[in-house]
Amino acid sequence: MTSEIVFKYFTKLTEVQKQQFLQLDALYQDWNQKINVVSRKDIDELYIRHVLHSLGIAKIQKFNEGAAILDVGTGGGFPGIPLAILFPETKFTLVDAIGKKIKVVQEVIDGLQLANITAHHSRVEDLPGQFDFIVSRAVAAMPTFVHWTKGKIKKDSTHERKNGILYLKGGDLTDELKAYRNAQIFDLPEYFEEDFFETKKVVYLPLKFKG
């Protein structure tokens, strides 16, 4: 699977963006041999399992120029790096508690010359600042994630959708989300036709978490 899978679903990319998406494969192949941040079986399917999956968030929410987005538990840089390529005028903060992962993230950021990302080796609870949206890829159950990110979301929204959490998850979320009646679930097969996305979802949780 090549970067063409990204171009198939995102047809208005600039040449710079196309080149950045294209470079992801070589950068991750190289760094994954030194520091394993993407599983061995996934590295050959980087574009579908990591890049396009990350961009599922962009099918639900477009980010404004100057908006601040926080990627919690970014791991190897997902979903933050693909989203930062797609939204070059948006500011992204990527955080992970594991230092070797942030080292790879920083090397990929430098390799792509992405000026709209900062990466931090930190627990999210210790990170200062507030953000328009918090994005992540299934790093914890939603109640735990909400607890971790408490106080990190700006109250004033500049997007049509209220500020909140955009969370990539899979499977049956009934029990996990029963405390969050205003959560919205978007099924990614409505946007991507590949079998990988059959059970994949984006969960949107607006700022005021009403039980």
User: Residue 65: what pLDDT?
Assistant: 97
pTM of the model: 0.96
Mean pLDDT of 133-142: 92
User: Residue 139: what pLDDT?
Assistant: 85
Mean pLDDT of 63-88: 97
- pLDDT category at 209 given cuts 50, 70, 90 is low
Mean pLDDT of 176-180: 91
Report the distance separating Cα 162 and Cα 132, nearest Å: 9
User: Residue 211: what pLDDT?
Assistant: 43
Per-residue pLDDT of 52-73, as tens digits, reads 999 999 999 999 999 999 999 9
Report the distance separating Cα 106 and Cα 50, nearest Å: 17
User: Residue 3: what pLDDT?
Assistant: 93
